[in-house]
Structure 1
Amino acid sequence: MINTLQIPMSAKATIFFFFICIRLVGQTLDLQIVKCEFIFGDERPFPQCHASTIEKLGNGEYILAWFAGSHEKNDDVAIWTAKGKPGAWTAPKKLAKVRNDPHWNPVLFSAPDGRLVLYFKVGKEIDDWETWVMESLDKGETWSAPKELVAGDRGGRGPVRNHILVLSDGTWLAPASVEKNRVWNAFVDFSTDAGKSWQRTDTLALDRHLVLGEGVIQPALWESEPGHIHMLLRSSTGKIARAESKDFGRTWSPVYLTDLPNNNSGIDLVKMPSGVIALVYNPVSGNWGKRYPMQLALSLDNGVTWPIQQEIEAGSGEDEFSYPSIIEDEGDLVFCYTWNRQRIRFVKVKLESSRN
């Protein structure tokens, strides 16, 4: 049974507030949007914003970061942040500006030892950008000075857009990719000393007769059982790609294609304590296809099938709802995404599972 109520949020977009009860063999899933709002409004101190990331701070509070400025790839683009809870967000604050070059793709990470870590890219061109890192010991109130993650690196180390995954053996796994001369490849960076040093894997094997166009980038990771890691990837061939590892992410299977559509735009996912995999993405095929609607999909079989598909925001015309970032918080799904390059949307979905 699905009950939805359409509530116009603007002249251009409609968001769905929903309660869904889905009965599957042996299991019932209840989904309900409990919060859906903008982090800031038209008073924003920048013309454009994009590529948000989110982490939890505890007690129902969250911190977000994104890049913003006059336009993506312009020299005035910096990393901005806001924190708080639904209905009570701080004003956007410029957090990082290393030099007068474009800044890109922040990634927040709540480390097991309590540190809050921010990774981001800096560079005129994606081909040669470098990764920078900052840390906070007081939940984002103050931050260390930015430093290069891997000194002298060009092309990008560490997480490229999605969250770091802490494995069952304590390893930090950073989903990574490179874009060189319009050739895209994915790899994984791993750290066994809590982020002090990093080692990278080989790039994933990719059949370019299968994956047409640029290739694959921006992986999203989960661990199904100790040492068994999986990734979904953005691709240029109209479908989400996938790869597997059975040795804690050190080596990977060749990339293969799933049945999930992909418009060559960002995706993200999280594994719930129940084992459910939650994916947020644009269910659109075609290289550089339209970036709407924003969709939530759930898998109960480790990402093999995705029987639960729920549209979050529909869109039309020139709308763009893109680059989601998702986390789990006490059994709820919490995510954010770009809204027309003008705002950042925050959504919280309650997900309850019970056995029949």
Structure 2
Amino acid sequence: MGYLSKFAITGLAVCGALFVRAQHLSVRVQKTEFIFEEGKFFDQCHASTLEETAEGVLLSAWFGGKHEGSNDVVVWGARQVDGRWTAPEVWADGKVTPETQFPCWNPVLFRPRGSDKIYLYYKVGPNPREWWGMVKTSDDGGLTWSVAKRLPDGILGPIKNRPIQLADGTVLSPSSVELSEDRWIAHVERSDDGQNTWQAYPVDHASLFNVIQPSIVQHADGRLQVLCRSKEGVVATAWSTDGGRTWSSLEKTDLVNPNSGTDAIRVGGRLFIVYNPDLPGKEWWEGRAKLRLASSTDGISWTDVLNLEDEEKGEFSYPTVIQDAKGRLHISYTYNRKSIKHIVVLL
């Protein structure tokens, strides 16, 4: 059986295990697949991101190389054309001189509303405490990319999850800083001039919560909410009523978190989050063998609506979720550091 036919599962074939109804919400998987062939392009990969072009082409990017933090790690990307993923290509690297290269980390794709331009944000540096933000752009749907540009000091760009754009065009980028291995803080970077300049706004830096990698969602009443990975065993949240300039104190939701990345999105009157439903273990990778999609109407209380992975061992982590022009959810995530899995969900 060929690679694509072996792993592409469509329609009702998966619904017996994954279909859930919760609070009059119907959720089912339309398709699940791997974006590339395992082991062909790099030894390990992680931290995928998704975006849709103005023409409806799906883009994915991630970092890959020998292992996370290795100097050969670069940003890879692929385009889904006519339902099939193109072969991965290098979209960005960490070269600072012809002889010196640092690893790349956590790419984030973003297309502003009504624009053809795609932004590729990513980090470069020896580790998350010393990295810096970089950006490239594409005007042809990811076929070619501009020369890389370093972001200003103090601006890291979106750390893991996509920015959101407010009704007035303001772009809010969810970000964070790992001050040390023991202290993490989140912030939001705000641009009202087309992502040319940025201003950073802290998210409760006095909190005892250690948080990174926020998602930003906007509720129907205009309030903004961040949902953050934490060291404290929960998904932590804070709120803004002034467009992301000031934030409430961090508080816990009812979602557990094993110190692993999440991603959230609003669809209509509901919020959705992809997360690992477990508590932290002794090792950083523990708690990542199960992955779920949950839904909420208030951003605090959540109901699981889909089991994406349910194993005793393995790493299914760092999800990203977007909604395409047809209303479908696209979810991708790290699959045992060997591949990137892509799932299409119908609501």
Whether TM-score is above 0.5 comes out as: yes
**How many angstroms apart in 2 are the aligned matches of 1:296 and 1:86?**
27
**How many angstroms apart in 1 are the aligned matches of 2:22 and 2:42?**
45
Counterpart for residue 10 of structure 2:
none
Instruction: Using the TM superposition, name which of 97-106 and 279-288 deviates more.
Output: 279-288
> Which of 323, 331, 340 is matched with 2:336 structurally?
340
Q: Does 1:148 align with 2:150?
A: yes
DSSP 3-state at the match of 1:141? coil
DSSP 3-state at the match of 2:129? helix
DSSP 3-state at the match of 1:64? strand
> Which of 52, 72, 76 is matched with 1:76 structurally?
72
> Which of 215, 226, 229 is matched with 1:220 structurally?
215
DSSP 3-state at the match of 1:126? coil
Amino acid at match of 2:200: R
DSSP 3-state at the match of 1:30? strand
Counterpart for residue 251 of structure 2:
256
Amino acid at match of 2:241: K
DSSP 3-state at the match of 2:252? strand
Amino acid at match of 1:181: S
Aligned partners of 2:319 and 2:331 also within 8 Å:
yes
Distance of aligned partners of 1:193 and 1:285 in 2 relative to their CA distance in 1, 3 Å threshold: same
Instruction: Using the TM superposition, name which of 50-59 and 329-338 deviates more.
Output: 50-59
Aligned partners of 2:61 and 2:78 also within 8 Å:
yes
Q: Does 1:322 align with 2:323?
A: no
Distance of aligned partners of 1:17 and 1:344 in 2 relative to their CA distance in 1, 3 Å threshold: farther
**How many angstroms apart in 2 are the aligned matches of 1:346 and 1:17?**
16
Aligned partners of 1:168 and 1:227 also within 8 Å:
no
**Cα RMSD, aligned residues only:** 2.0
Instruction: Using the TM superposition, name which of 198-207 and 40-49 deviates more.
Output: 198-207
Unaligned runs of 5+ in 1: 1-7, 10-14, 352-356
Offset from partner CA, 1:228-268 (integer Å, 9 cap, x none)? 10010000011110000000000000111111000101000
**How many angstroms apart in 2 are the aligned matches of 1:177 and 1:339?**
24
> Which of 287, 295, 304 is matched with 2:292 structurally?
295
Offset from partner CA, 1:283-330 (integer Å, 9 cap, x none)? 11125332121111111x23132224321111222x100000100112
Amino acid at match of 1:143: W
Counterpart for residue 180 of structure 1:
179
Aligned partners of 2:263 and 2:320 also within 8 Å:
yes
Counterpart for residue 345 of structure 2:
349
Q: Does 1:285 align with 2:282?
A: no
DSSP 3-state at the match of 2:53? strand
Aligned partners of 2:123 and 2:156 also within 8 Å:
no
Number of residue pairs matched?
325
1:225 Cα offset (Å): 3.6
Distance of aligned partners of 1:45 and 1:20 in 2 relative to their CA distance in 1, 3 Å threshold: closer
Distance of aligned partners of 1:16 and 1:235 in 2 relative to their CA distance in 1, 3 Å threshold: farther
**How many angstroms apart in 1 are the aligned matches of 2:20 and 2:200?**
43
What are the residue-to-residue correspondences of 1:70-149 with 2, within 5 Å?
70-85=66-81, 87-99=83-95, 100-112=101-113, 113-149=115-151
Aligned partners of 1:206 and 1:255 also within 8 Å:
no
Aligned partners of 1:71 and 1:77 also within 8 Å:
yes
Counterpart for residue 43 of structure 2:
47
**How many angstroms apart in 1 are the aligned matches of 2:161 and 2:38?**
27
Distance of aligned partners of 1:60 and 1:315 in 2 relative to their CA distance in 1, 3 Å threshold: farther
Distance of aligned partners of 1:248 and 1:98 in 2 relative to their CA distance in 1, 3 Å threshold: same
Distance of aligned partners of 1:203 and 1:276 in 2 relative to their CA distance in 1, 3 Å threshold: closer
DSSP 3-state at the match of 2:341? strand
1:116 Cα offset (Å): 0.4
Q: Does 1:307 align with 2:303?
A: yes
**How many angstroms apart in 2 are the aligned matches of 1:280 and 1:202?**
24
Instruction: Provide the identity percentage.
Output: 39
Aligned partners of 1:176 and 1:188 also within 8 Å:
yes
**How many angstroms apart in 1 are the aligned matches of 2:28 and 2:206?**
38
**How many angstroms apart in 2 are the aligned matches of 1:17 and 1:322?**
22
**How many angstroms apart in 1 are the aligned matches of 2:82 and 2:262?**
23
What are the residue-to-residue correspondences of 1:177-216 with 2, within 5 Å?
177-182=176-181, 183-208=183-208, 211=209, 215-216=210-211
DSSP 3-state at the match of 1:201? strand
Runs of 4+ that moved beyond 6 A: none
1:130 Cα offset (Å): 0.5
Amino acid at match of 2:70: N
Amino acid at match of 1:295: R
